[in-house]
Amino acid sequence: MRRTAVAILMLLSAGSAPAAQAQSAPAAGGKVYAVIFDFACAGSDHGRALADSVRLRLRRHEEYDVLDRLTTQEASRPLGVEAQKDAIGLMGSLASNLAVFGTVQVSGAEVRAEIRCIDKTAADGTAREWTKVFTDSTERYKAEIARQIVEAIRGQAEWVPPQYGDEEEPKDFAKPLNANGDFEAGAAAWDRPDNVSTFLEPGPAGRGTVLRIRTDLARDPWLEYKRAMMFGQADPRHPPQIGRDTSYGSVAGLEGVHFAGDWIRAEPGRRYWLVADAKTAGGTPKVFVKGFRKTEHALDGLPEGALIELGLTPEQFVALPAERRRKLIEDDAAKHPMRYVRECYRWYLNLRDGDAAWTHYAAPFPPRGGLPGDVEWLQIQVYAYWPPGEYLFDNVHLYADPRQAATQAVEPARTPNFGKTSDVVERATSQPAK
């Protein structure tokens, strides 16, 4: 009875792994002590590098105790696929019950790995053995072949996180869901540019109007100006002169600059594509899609904008009778419902390949599954920060995924504690004080 309970707990603790364990998985409770020898590879380091990728990847599975690289390299030279006797001898002296070795050959772009595995994890002590050939000729050969080797070792498929560029950009998008993504209608459906950190201006031939963001600015006068602009106390047609600053204390080093679009009605269960063109000289500017939902408005506070409209200071507001305060909040929420939304979803397109040329970016989101059900509104926010300088953007479009046939359920994060900050994780996992 007790044994059964332990086995069930082990399956549960395997988390998202399929409940049906592969036949090659170790007996319940048994650790696999694996040694991955450097692979033999004439004339290059590919064998060592690939072996190390396999070690790292296999180590992610908690039932595998993988001998570290230095100890392995001290114990043995690289072992080619023919070195079976050496491997079996070393398994004994290294107290390992699983050994992997092999030969890697590189020919042009193609990498070919002939890999042998000796597995002595079976409860009855019998050795099982396989030899397989893996090939890849992409830039990601190391990750790709390592994944296939680990799948062969474990006898089950690895979960592969979505990769940028995994899915080809569709050619048949319908009309964008956001208006004026090409900026040809000026600031329509976007923030008003402040003409200090954000500009809508003619781009190079063929682009019409583009968005320019500047982040090499002195922070304090910029913040003061943005605030005044928000409350109608500054006019971007007559922007102030704000000094250039490229220090860590600049706008680039602290807030960065956001340029937001209008609210877009969200459709839970939907998948989207976000595309953008950008010209950057470094850094990783981003195009965020943030999701918002209505929230019960705070019963004791008004947003700053509302206070200014009412001509009240926060102190004057607090001094009002409770009934009067509640009435003002309810009236403001009815008039400006979007002042009372809360961010509940966030994804971004990372514009990371900037080499001072215009580059097109496209990616689907959510990375897996459909948009969560609590997202009511989406907002696009173009964002640039470090390094201090200028960034150009054009054709920022949000599309419904034309390949999606039916609404899709939300798929939760695969990574434990994904989206939680470290303090939350620490609190949740720390031992209670005695």
Residues that bind Ca ion (CB under 5 A): 182-183, 207-209, 394
Shortest Å, Cβ 210 to Ca ion: 5
Structure tokens at 145: 């072949």
Shortest Å, Cβ 180 to Ca ion: 9
Q: Count of H helices and E strands in the chain? A: 10, 15
Q: Are 401 and 170 in contact (CB under 8 A)?
A: yes
35 or 380: CB nearest Ca ion: 380
207 or 339: CB nearest Ca ion: 207
Give SS3 for 401: coil
Name the region of 283 (left: φ>0; alpha: ψ -120 to 50; beta: rest).
left
Shortest Å, Cβ 206 to Ca ion: 9
Tell whether omega for the bond before 78 is within 30 degrees of 0, i.e. cis. Answer: no
Q: Are 24 and 152 in contact (CB under 8 A)?
A: no
Shortest Å, Cβ 204 to Ca ion: 10
Shortest Å, Cβ 361 to Ca ion: 15
What's the chain's Rg over C-alpha atoms?
29
Structure tokens at 320: 């009002």
b/e burial code for range 213-249 (CB count within 10 A of at least 16 → b): bbbbbebeebeebbeebeeeebebeebeebeebeeee
Shortest Å, Cβ 395 to Ca ion: 6
Phi then psi dihedrals of residue 339, to 5 deg: -75, -15
181 or 370: CB nearest Ca ion: 181
100 or 392: CB nearest Ca ion: 392
61 or 212: CB nearest Ca ion: 212
- Cα separation, 145 vs 309, whole angstroms: 62
189 or 229: CB nearest Ca ion: 189
Shortest Å, Cβ 201 to Ca ion: 10
Residue 86, CB-side half-sphere exposure with 13 Å CA sphere? 15
DSSP strand E in 175-299: where?
198-202, 209-214, 257-260, 264-265, 272-279, 286-294
155 or 186: CB nearest Ca ion: 186
Q: Are 274 and 320 in contact (CB under 8 A)?
A: no
146 or 382: CB nearest Ca ion: 382
Shortest Å, Cβ 363 to Ca ion: 21
Our CA angle for 187, 190, 191, nearest 5°, is: 90
Q: Between the CA of residue 310 and those of 222, 314, 327, 354, what are the distances in Å? A: 25, 11, 13, 46
173 or 386: CB nearest Ca ion: 173
Q: Between the CA of residue 273 and those of 151, 234, 342, 363, what are the distances in Å? A: 31, 36, 23, 6
209 or 284: CB nearest Ca ion: 209
- Cα separation, 343 vs 195, whole angstroms: 27
180 or 195: CB nearest Ca ion: 180
Shortest Å, Cβ 211 to Ca ion: 9
- Cα separation, 388 vs 210, whole angstroms: 19
Shortest Å, Cβ 389 to Ca ion: 21
Residue 175, CB-side half-sphere exposure with 13 Å CA sphere? 4
Shortest Å, Cβ 285 to Ca ion: 17
